[in-house]
């Protein structure tokens, strides 16, 4: 066996292991999936909506009304403005006045800066962050509150779905988010969550204050706080029934920039909390999930490099052929047709198994997200996802490494 075959077998074993693990965990924990603890107390919840100049007025208005329309009664709403003011700020001011909600403001840029300022005036025992491009389902809060009756719980995440997936990039993200709902719930059951996403997550107010508020210099403050909460010995749970819709990036470059931020944030936080890695005190998070995520990154990069190498070799060989045969198209086409014939290898078996598990996971994710499980419904989403997503992830990581290597020369405000 040559190096190619051995590395491919290693890759296959790892991918099989990961996908089978999540399916077995689902089967084992099926009964625990959908139930949320029924609250005995209903404490005040501060809903903080961070707003800044690039948010659209339409989305802010929809976001605010979704928060006001939630059926949970004991709540207060705070609009947290951050950054230089423009007409969006004036709109927020009017909106706050009209709906009798508070508005905090700071000229400093950063979601964490705005959140921290709002936190200082928040009266709720619990608080919820809701990005301005996200909207609560009406009963979202009730499902999360009950978890906090356990003193060890520091934060609860919601189940995020993509709002109106219109173009191909949003359709891919729609499936990705369904997949994430599945993974997030299962990860929460084994205490492995390392992100408390911006749209619709709930925290214990005193805990976040005591831990020193959100890190204002972190690319992904929602990931940093997740690490910090767990480093302090608290747990993070997920409420499957607490749904939040969020607007996913429509343009590829915006999506790439979002992922550069997420992935670079992951690298930064991993560095910051490296003492949690392989530390038995951190349980499955440090012993399993974080090492697994690091290996995943290596696998994604290796697979992409392999794919690019294969593609480049094939293009180079074809161009060379075309040149050597004096651009004789008949001969060239017959060679191409010959290479396109099916050349069965043992990889077919693994490709079938992995695609099967992939479809099963999408099905389980749809079931958990209460979406229509018939694959014919929204089939373009699945096809786009299965064909493009893995390549896209590799591209995100390449850009992320590019960013990490050059970020000292980039101006933060201009880039984001």
Partner 1 sequence: MSTLIKTALVTTFIFVTGIIFGLWLGTERVGELDRTMIELEESIKSAELQLMFFDIMGEEISCNYLEQQRWEISSETDALGREVERYENSMKLDEDSFFELKERYTLSMLRSWLNVENIKGKCDADFVTVLYFYSNKYCDTCEEQGIILSFYKEKLEGNLLIYSIDSDLDLQIVNMLKDVYEVEEYPVLVINREIYTGFRNTGEIKGILCEENPALKIC
| Residues lying near partner 1 in the complex (CB under 8 A) | 1-2, 4-5, 8-9, 12-13, 16-17, 20-21, 24-25, 28, 190, 288, 317, 320-321, 324-326, 328, 331, 334-335, 338, 341, 343-347, 349-350, 353
Cβ-Cβ contacts under 8 Å for 367 (sequence gap 6 or more): 373
Residue number, 8 or 207, with CB nearest to partner 1: 8
Least CB distance from residue 35 to partner 1, whole Å?
20
- Tokens 């706050």 map to which residue? 96
Give, as one character, the DSSP assignment of residue 125: S
Residue number, 100 or 341, with CB nearest to partner 1: 341
Residue number, 27 or 405, with CB nearest to partner 1: 27
Residue 69's SS3 state is coil
Residue number, 189 or 229, with CB nearest to partner 1: 189
Least CB distance from residue 347 to partner 1, whole Å?
6
Residue number, 280 or 405, with CB nearest to partner 1: 280
Least CB distance from residue 184 to partner 1, whole Å?
17
Residue number, 328 or 413, with CB nearest to partner 1: 328
Q: Is the dihedral angle over the CA atoms 127, 131, 137, 143 positive or is it negative?
A: negative
Give CA–CA dist 320/219, Å, rounded.
46
- Tokens 């010995």 map to which residue? 233
Across the beta sheet with 235-246, the strand order is 102-106, 75-82, 45-51, 126-129, 201-204, 153-162, 235-246, 134-136
Q: Are strands 45-51 and 134-136 parallel, antiparallel or unpaired?
A: unpaired
Least CB distance from residue 158 to partner 1, whole Å?
25
Residue number, 210 or 334, with CB nearest to partner 1: 334
Least CB distance from residue 299 to partner 1, whole Å?
15
Backbone φ and ψ of 293, nearest 5°: -65, -35
Least CB distance from residue 210 to partner 1, whole Å?
33
Least CB distance from residue 237 to partner 1, whole Å?
18
Greatest alpha-carbon span in the chain? 81
Give CA–CA dist 14/12, Å, rounded.
5
Comparing CA positions, the residue from 8, 26, 76 lying closest to residue 360 is 26
């Amino acid at each position: 066996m040559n190096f190619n075959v051995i590395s491919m077998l290693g890759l296959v074993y790892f991918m099989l292991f990961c996908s089978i693990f999540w399916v077995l965990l689902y089967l084992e924990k099926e009964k625990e999936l959908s139930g949320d603890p029924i609250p005995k107390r209903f404490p005040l919840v501060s809903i903080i909506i961070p707003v800044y100049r690039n948010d659209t007025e339409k989305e802010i208005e929809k976001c605010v009304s979704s928060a006001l329309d939630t059926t949970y009664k004991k709540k207060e709403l705070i609009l947290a403005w951050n950054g230089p003011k423009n007409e969006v700020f004036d709109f927020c001011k009017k909106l706050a006045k009209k709906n009798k909600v508070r508005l905090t403001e700071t000229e400093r840029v950063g979601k964490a800066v705005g959140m921290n300022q709002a936190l200082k005036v928040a009266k709720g025992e619990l608080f919820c962050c809701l990005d301005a491009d996200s909207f609560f389902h009406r009963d979202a809060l009730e499902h999360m509150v009950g978890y906090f009756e356990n003193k060890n719980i520091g934060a609860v995440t919601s189940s995020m779905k993509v709002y109106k997936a219109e173009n191909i990039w949003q359709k891919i993200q729609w499936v990705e988010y369904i997949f994430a709902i599945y993974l997030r719930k299962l990860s929460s059951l084994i205490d492995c969550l390392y992100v408390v996403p911006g749209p619709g997550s709930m925290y214990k107010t005193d805990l976040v204050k005591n831990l020193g508020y959100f890190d204002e210099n972190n690319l992904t403050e929602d990931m940093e706080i997740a690490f910090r909460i767990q480093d302090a010995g608290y747990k993070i749970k997920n409420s499957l029934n607490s749904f939040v819709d969020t607007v996913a990036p429509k343009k590829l470059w915006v999506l790439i920039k979002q992922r550069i931020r997420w992935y670079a944030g992951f690298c930064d936080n991993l560095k910051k909390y490296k003492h949690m890695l392989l530390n038995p005190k951190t349980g499955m998070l440090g012993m399993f999930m974080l090492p697994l995520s690091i290996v995943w990154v290596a696998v994604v990069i290796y697979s992409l490099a392999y794919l690019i190498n294969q593609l480049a070799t094939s293009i180079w060989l074809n161009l060379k052929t075309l040149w050597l045969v004096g651009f004789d198209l008949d001969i060239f086409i017959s060679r191409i047709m010959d290479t396109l014939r099916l050349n069965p290898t043992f990889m077919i078996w693994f490709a079938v198994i992995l695609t099967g598990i992939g479809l099963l996971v999408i099905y389980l994710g749809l079931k958990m997200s209460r979406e229509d499980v018939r694959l014919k419904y929204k089939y373009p989403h699945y096809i786009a996802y299965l064909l493009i997503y893995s390549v896209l992830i590799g591209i995100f990581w390449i850009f992320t490494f590019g960013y990490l290597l050059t970020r000292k020369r980039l101006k933060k405000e201009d880039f984001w």
